[in-house]
Amino acid sequence: MSDPNTPSPAGGSALPPRSGARWRLLQIFAPAPVVAPVSTDPREIGAQYRYWQRRILITSLIGYASFYLVRKNLSAAMPAMAGDLGIGKADLGLFLTLHGLLYGVSKFANGFLGDRANARTFMAAGLLLSAGVNLWFGFSSAVLTLGLLWMLNGWVQGMGFPPCARLMGHWFPPRQLATAFSVWNTSHSIGAGIVVVLCGYLASYHWRLCFVIPAALAILCALFLLWRLRDTPPSLGLPELAGTEEGPRAQEGFSATDLRRVFGNRHIWFLGLASFCVYTIRYAILDWGPTFLTEMKGIRLADAGWIVAAFEISGVVGMLASGWLTDRCFGGRGARLSVISLALAGVSVLLFWRLPLSSIGVSVALICLTGFFLYGPQALVGAIVVNLATKRLAGTAIGFTSIFSYASTILSGWGLGRLVQARGWDAAFGGLMIIVTLGTALFALSWRAKAHGYRGAADEPSPAAPVAAPVLAPGKPNS
C-alpha cells in the first residue's frame, strides 16, 4: 500500500507527515496514491480512459450543479423572508453582495488547496459543509446570524470549483479541454434552473423549505460524489496523458517557478480582467433584465422573466458551440474565439439598446444572441487558464481569475443600480458598451498566447503516455 506521505505523481506531493488526530483527519484530503498499472495493452488503456473520462465529466457536472441547490436558493426565498422576518431589501442585497465577494476570494484560496487535494473528498466535503450551513440558515431568524451564515456559505461554496478544475486538467488533454470544459460548464445553468423551479414551489409553502429541502438533496449528492468520483489517472493505475508532461518539477511541491507560471503570466492577468468584463455584462442582464425589459421596451414582467430564461438557455448552446469550435478550428486557442464572440455580443447589446421600441420577438432574438455569444468566452476562460497554468496549477489559476469574475458584482449590481438611478438606462447601456469593448480588447491581448504551458523550456519532458480517446467515446473498464 502506498504511503500517503510520499510524493505522488498524481498531483504532486501529498500532505507532510504530522501527528495528532486533527492531522489524521486532514489526510482524507491527501491526493489519492498511485497504484499499479492496470494494463500494458494500449487498447485496454484506451478503453479504460474512455470510460473514466465520461464518468469523471458527468459526475463532476452533476456534483457542481448540486452546489447551486444550496447557493442560488436565497433569491427565491427573499420575498417571503422579507415579509416573515421584516428584513429590508438593503439587508438582503448585502447578503448577496458579501456572499459573492467572499465566494470569489474563497475560490482563489481553495484553488491552492484544491490543486494539492483529492478531488473526490475535497468536493464532497465542500458540498456537505454548504448543506450544513443551509440547514442552520433555514432554522435561524436573526438578521445578523443569517448574514454571517450566508457569508460562511460563500466560503465553503468556493470548495466546489477547484477540484473540478483539477479533474479537467488531469483527465482531458489540451486538444480536448475546451470541449470538455464547455460541456462541464452547463452545470451552472442546469443547477441554477433546477433550484429556481424547485424553490419557486417550496417558497409558496414556507421560505424555510427553500433551505432545508435543497440541503437534504445536497447531502445525497455529496454521497453520490464519494461513490462515483475519483482523483487522477495514476490513482486508478492509468498513465498520465501524453502532451501533459511537465518534467521533473511535476514531482515536487509548489515552487517559485510554479507560482510565476500563474501570477507571472501576463495572459492569465489579461484573461482575469476580461472575465471581469464578461461577468459584468452577464450579471447585468441576469439581475437587471426584467427591470430594463419592462422599463425600456414596455414588456410585461411575466414575459420579461421568460426572456431572461431564454438568455440563459442560449448561453448553454453558446458554451457547447464555443468549446467545439475552439478545439476543432482554433487549435485550442480559446482567446481568439473569445475576441470574436465578445465583439458579437457587444453588437447584440448595442442593437438592443439603440433600436427603437420593437416587437417582443426582436427583443428576444437580440437577448438570445447576446447570451449565445457571451457564454462562450465565460466558459473558455477556465479552459484557457488551465491549459496555460498546466494541470498541477489548474485550481490556483482559475481561483485567481475568479477574484476578478466575482468582483464584477460590485459594478453589475450596486454600481449599475446607482448609475440608472442617477442618469437612466441610456447611461447604463453606454457603460456596458464600454465594458464589452474593454473585454474584447483584453482578449485580443492574449491572441498570441500559446495553446498550453506544458513542456516549458526549463523542463525535460517525460516519456509520452498513451493519449486518451475522444471525450465521451464508448468504452468500458475491466471492473
Nearest to 73 by CA among 217, 206, 192, 220: 192
Query: Do 421 and 291 meet the contact criterion of CB atoms below 8 Å apart?
Result: no
Q: Cell numbers at residue 250, please?
A: 511535476
Share of the chain above pLDDT 70, in %: 84
Q: Domain range for residue 132?
A: 41-232
- Residue with the larger pLDDT of the pair 302 and 227: 227
Same domain, 420 and 335: yes
417 assigned to some structural domain: yes
Alpha carbon separation from 362 to 257, 267, 278, 295, 356 (Å, rounded):
52, 37, 23, 16, 11
| Distance from C-alpha of 443 to C-alpha of 41, rounded to nearest angstrom | 43
> Are 377 and 156 a contacting pair, CB within 8 Å?
no
Q: How far apart are the first and last CA of the chain?
A: 20
Q: How many domains does the chain have?
A: 2
Q: Is residue 152 part of a domain?
A: yes
- Is the separation of the CB atoms in 428 and 7 below 8 Å? no
Q: What is the pLDDT of residues 345-389, one digit of tens each?
A: 999 999 999 887 667 788 889 999 999 999 999 989 988 888 888
| DSSP one-letter string for 189-211 | HHHHHHHHHHHHHHTTT-TTHHH
> Do residues 223 and 263 both lie within one domain?
no
Q: Are residues 352 and 225 in the same domain?
A: no
Are 431 and 372 contained in the same domain? yes
The answer on pLDDT for 340 being more than 70 is yes
Give domain status of residue 66, yes or no: yes
CA distance 366 to 350: 9
pLDDT value for 357? 64
DSSP run (H or E) holding 283? helix 266-297
In angstroms, the CA 429 to CA 435 distance is 10
Whether 186 and 284 map to the same domain: the answer is no
**206-213: Cβ within 8 A, 24+ apart:** 206/80, 207/77, 207/80, 207/81, 207/84, 208/138, 208/139, 209/138, 210/73, 210/74, 210/76, 210/77, 210/138, 211/70, 211/73, 211/77, 211/134, 211/135, 211/137, 211/138, 212/134, 212/135, 212/138, 212/139
Q: Higher-confidence residue: 24 or 284?
A: 284
Q: What is the DSSP letter of 254?
A: -
Higher pLDDT, 293 or 437: 437
Question: Do residues 291 and 225 both lie within one domain?
Answer: no
pLDDT at 10: 41
Residue 12 parent element (H or E) = strand 12-13
Output 380 or 454, whichever has higher pLDDT: 380
Is 4's pLDDT higher than 90? no
Of the pLDDT bands very low, low, confident and very high (cuts 50, 70, 90), residue 455 is low
User: What pLDDT was estimated at residue 242?
Assistant: 67
Residue 335 has pLDDT above 50, yes or no: yes
Are residues 278 and 183 both part of a single domain?
Answer: no
- Per residue in 254-284, is it b (16+ CB within 10 Å) or e — as a string? beeebeebbeebebbbbbbbbbbbbbbbbbb
Cβ atoms of residues 168 and 181 within 8 Å:
yes
Task: Please check whether residue 220 lies inside any domain of the structure.
Answer: yes
Question: What is the per-residue pLDDT for 159?
Answer: 94
Q: Which pLDDT score, from 0 to 100, does residue 3 have?
A: 40
Q: Looking at residue 305, what is its pLDDT? A: 66
User: Quick one: 296 and 339 in the same domain?
Assistant: yes
Phi, psi angle pair for 461, to nearest 5°: -65, 145
Residue 8 placed within a domain: no
Helices (H), 206-265: 209-228, 256-263
Query: How much is the average pLDDT of 461-473?
Result: 41
Asked if residue 419 and residue 309 are part of one domain, the reply reads yes
Residue 317 pLDDT = 92
Residue 328: pLDDT band with limits 50, 70, 90? confident
Same domain for 317 and 425, yes or no, is yes
Instruction: For residue range 167-224, list pLDDT tens digits in order.
Output: 998 899 888 888 888 899 889 888 877 887 788 788 888 999 999 999 999 999 999 9
Q: Same structural domain for residues 213 and 268? A: no
Judgement on whether residues 277 and 320 belong to the same structural domain of the protein: yes
* Distance, CA of 35 to CA of 459 (rounded, Å): 25
- Report pLDDT for 462: 38
Window from 56-65, 105-114, 125-134 with minimum mean pLDDT:
105-114
Model confidence at 312, pLDDT cuts 50, 70, 90, reads: confident
Would you say residue 304 lies in a domain?
Answer: yes
Mean pLDDT estimate for the chain = 82
CATH number of the domain bearing residue 93: 1.20.1250.20
**Is residue 30 in a domain?**
no
Q: HSE on the CB side for 335, CA within 13 Å?
A: 27
Would 415 be classed as within a structural domain?
yes
Torsion sign over Cα 392, 394, 399, 401? positive
Beta-carbon neighbour count of residue 223 at 10 Å? 13
Per residue in 120-148, pLDDT (tens digit) is 999 999 999 999 999 999 999 998 899 89
Residue 340 · residue 317 · CB < 8 Å: no
**Other residues' Cβ atoms within 10 Å of the Cβ of residue 448:** 10
**How confident is residue 57, by pLDDT bands cut at 50, 70 and 90?**
very high
Confidence of residue 457 (pLDDT cuts 50, 70, 90): very low
